[in-house]
Structure 1
């Protein structure tokens, strides 16, 4: 059984959204409550952080070296060289109690993300995708009725999308068409003893799910057969896994200190930190979001 070890004792309040940048050979992740975006460069050990103007739910590398960030009220570009954020498109301006949560880019360069009720009580969240439409971005709503969304993750063949309704303990699977439309939502799995958080799919189609209040990663084969769970002794709240390294065989795990009882924090002083371990099956090749889809929209600097 893999033994996760701490590679950055950062102790984030709500570490989330790890993603590997092939261009930089570095891992990005966010601290939602701490209003920060972080970067870890394994080869050199270099670390960097950028303050965010709002709660960041996810970060995604863009093909021009910038970053796409899901902040509370919309999609923003971040230039790591300057630290300046520019809003590309507002999301759910009619729902000020919502915020963007987890997101990822699929093999075709489509961005998928979910929104959630920031108070975690109202089913006002939804699942979206972002593609180009003319000179702008088309933000398309696919599904709704979520209190807290997590994922999405797409299978290697591009035909299935996984998405979580975390408070309900449900992992859904959709049929994903070539044009990016979703259909046939089904319950793929249910999680007890904790709540399903972020998801990632490896190169063989196996699903890896962080378990909030569960101290572990659960895994499933594409047919839904459970694989052995991987304990993360350093944290109670395991939020998400990303595959990185030159061969994509290093699993990085984000964790959170939020909602961890004081007695458990005393036993887990590195909760909220970044952990890693080696895997046999590599992750999928990360795809950056296409820069051409943002060029006409970087017009509202907030830095």
Structure 2
């Protein structure tokens, strides 16, 4: 039997917390609260946590090489500038399918964003 100890390190109160991402350059753990419509960031060295509210279900967050982040919100991929909390829509997917939304996304070793979607009941 393993002696691994599991403990909660941040009490974010997430409704549906998913997509943990360790951002090495910033030494932060990021994750999204899909239904709570928030992107969270936690710095373990200071125990500081921050969040940005989004305008729709948020399904993933990944860092951009140019700075800031990309996030999947609803049917859109948006650029997120953390310091200003500014979000800019870059592309909207499945415009002809209003019940679809992005569900998950990650960056592959070549730096390409791979994202998947789902259909939500109306």
TM-score (norm 2): 0.93
Deviations 1:155-204 (A, max 9, x none): xxxxxxxxxxxxxxxxxxxxxxxxxxxxxxxxxxxxxxxxxxxxxxxxxx
| 2:80 corresponds to 1:78 | yes
Alpha-carbon distance, 1:34 to partner: 0.4
Alpha-carbon distance, 1:64 to partner: 2.3
Distance 1:5 1:16 in 2: 17
What is the match of residue 6 of structure 2?
Answer: 4
Alpha-carbon distance, 1:23 to partner: 1.7
For the aligned residue pairs, the C-alpha RMSD in angstroms reads 1.3
What is the match of residue 193 of structure 1?
Answer: none
Contact 1:60 1:67 in 2 (8 A): yes
| 2:51 corresponds to 1:18 | no
Distance 1:36 1:42 in 2: 19
> Which structure 1 residue ranges, 4+ long, deviate > 4 Å from structure 2?
none
| 2:96 corresponds to 1:94 | yes
| Aligned 1:33-52 pairs, distance under 5 A | 33-52=35-54
Distance 1:65 1:22 in 2: 13
Distance 2:66 2:112 in 1: 16
What is the match of residue 66 of structure 1?
Answer: 68
TM-score (norm 1): 0.39
Deviations 1:17-48 (A, max 9, x none): 11111221101111011011100001111110
What is the match of residue 55 of structure 2?
Answer: 53
What SS is found at the alignment partner of 1:100?
Answer: strand
Contact 1:39 1:49 in 2 (8 A): yes
Gapped regions of structure 2 (runs ≥ 5): none
Aligned residues between the structures: 120
Report 1 or 2 for greater relative contact order, CA contacts < 8 Å, sequence distance ≥ 6. 1
Distance 1:88 1:25 in 2: 27
Distance 1:81 1:64 in 2: 14
What SS is found at the alignment partner of 2:111?
Answer: coil
